[in-house]
Amino acid sequence: MAEERVTTRQRAILMTIVERYIETGEPVGSGTTAAAMGSASLSAATVRNEMAELGEAGLLEQPHTSAGRIPTALAFRMYVEQLRGSGRLGAGLAGLSESSRSQIDRKFAGVAGTQEVLERTSHVLATLSSGVGLAVTAATDLVDTLEHIHFSRLAPARVLAVLVTQGGQVRDRVLALEKDLAPVALETAARFLNESFRGWSLETVRLELTRLVEGARSEYLRMLEARQLWAKAVPVGTSGGSQTVYMEGVANLIGSQMAGEDSARLRELLAALEAKQRMVELLNAYVDARQESVRVVFDLEAQAPEMAGLVLIAAPARMQGENWGTVGVIGPKRMHYENTMNAVSYMAQVFDRMLQGPDGTR
């Protein structure tokens, strides 16, 4: 039986089974399904017959002879499409409750700068989805070059770095240092960087500072402080032409939802998640910067065999109409799709507002 030939009743039964399985993680029987649907005209025997046909269609599978059924990847795809057409998914603000939006906004209070927004985004998505939250910067062919950098002491061993590139980007980041630096040391380091490296690419500055520290022992202290500040203000991977990955929540996949996986499978999965470039390739393969809605991908194993059984929910993040990267969640098939899809949509569409201050400036 082809997917499009599923009857209205069978579709309702299938959607009930998927939601019950998402809630409990256990195979769903015909009696439980009939009771959940609450229809007096639908007996457990009728549901059992319909479930048998759904199984033949490749939408349900039976893990044990006497157990109930669990949805297949095809069933989850149908469930997501049903959600899209049901009105339960909103676009951005419309998709989340007021309490959920307030919770997200509170987590972004005091966050400033692109890097901090992306880092917090991955954390928020991991928390909301119980999966792996992802935020990846967009690729660019432009090479960022230094225009000016400034350091301000906020508290002992805490410094605000403000970096301006010649391409017009302004990046600010709070640095946690290993030791406290006096304002005069910060001014000296900033003056040295600005006078020596204005117009240099950000990656070249890092490489040159390393070379100078290793080769010019007479200026060791000044170089070391400048390199320490630069490395924290501009982490490796933030220069033009590369994509930075912010990821949180890997431990969520090792919890109860994947408790049945063997240790070798989990090791392969964790190794793949830790390979940040692998995550960049995966998101680039499935998420188009031009797409307007959240994409749900069930066949990740086509690009990464070790991701078999996992689902990607992702969308491009835009700021003033331009693509700034991708936000998303990787989780097991048994996840709460409605909440996760709405959360990803919200995060992607309000990305611009997150980077604005109270007066609308960046």
Sketch out the chain's domains with CATH numbers.
3-82 (1.10.10.10), 92-139+243-354 (3.30.450.40), 146-233 (3.30.390)
The b/e string for 276-286 (b: 16+ C-beta within 10 A; e otherwise) is: eebbbebbbeb
- Rounded distance between C-alpha atoms, residue 347 and residue 120, angstroms: 11
User: For 106, how many CA atoms within 13 A lie in the half-sphere containing its CB?
Assistant: 6
10-residue mean pLDDT series, the chain (362 residues): 74 92 88 84 86 90 79 90 74 64 80 73 84 78 78 89 81 84 90 90 83 60 69 63 73 60 68 74 80 85 82 84 82 87 84 55 46
Please enumerate in sequence order all residues whose Cβ is within 8 A of that of 332, keeping only pairs 6 or more positions apart, or say none.
131, 253, 257, 258, 309, 310, 311
- Ramachandran angles phi, psi of 71, nearest 5°: -70, 150
CB 166 within 8 A of CB 147: yes
Comparing C-alpha atoms, which of 201, 144, 138 is closest to residue 169?
144
Instruction: Give residue 362's pLDDT.
Output: 46
- Rounded distance between C-alpha atoms, residue 26 and residue 29, angstroms: 9
Instruction: Give residue 126's pLDDT.
Output: 86
CB 30 within 8 A of CB 68: yes
| 307 burial type by CB count under 10 A (0-12 exposed, 13-18 middle, 19+ buried) | buried
Instruction: Give residue 1's pLDDT.
Output: 45
Comparing C-alpha atoms, which of 233, 218, 247, 109 is closest to residue 173?
233
Task: Look up the pTM and report it.
Answer: 0.64
**At which residue do the structure tokens 């039976």 appear?**
62
Comparing C-alpha atoms, which of 292, 310, 257, 296 is closest to residue 80?
296
CB 112 within 8 A of CB 172: yes
Comparing C-alpha atoms, which of 62, 65, 49 is closest to residue 21?
62
Instruction: Give residue 88's pLDDT.
Output: 66
Q: Would you give the DSSP letter of residue 68? A: -
- Rounded distance between C-alpha atoms, residue 305 and residue 284, angstroms: 16
Instruction: Give residue 296's pLDDT.
Output: 92
User: CA-CA distances (angstroms) from residue 89 to 8, 96, 171, 203, 262?
Assistant: 21, 8, 34, 42, 35
Strand 158-165 to strand 245-248: parallel, antiparallel, or no bridges (unpaired)?
Answer: unpaired
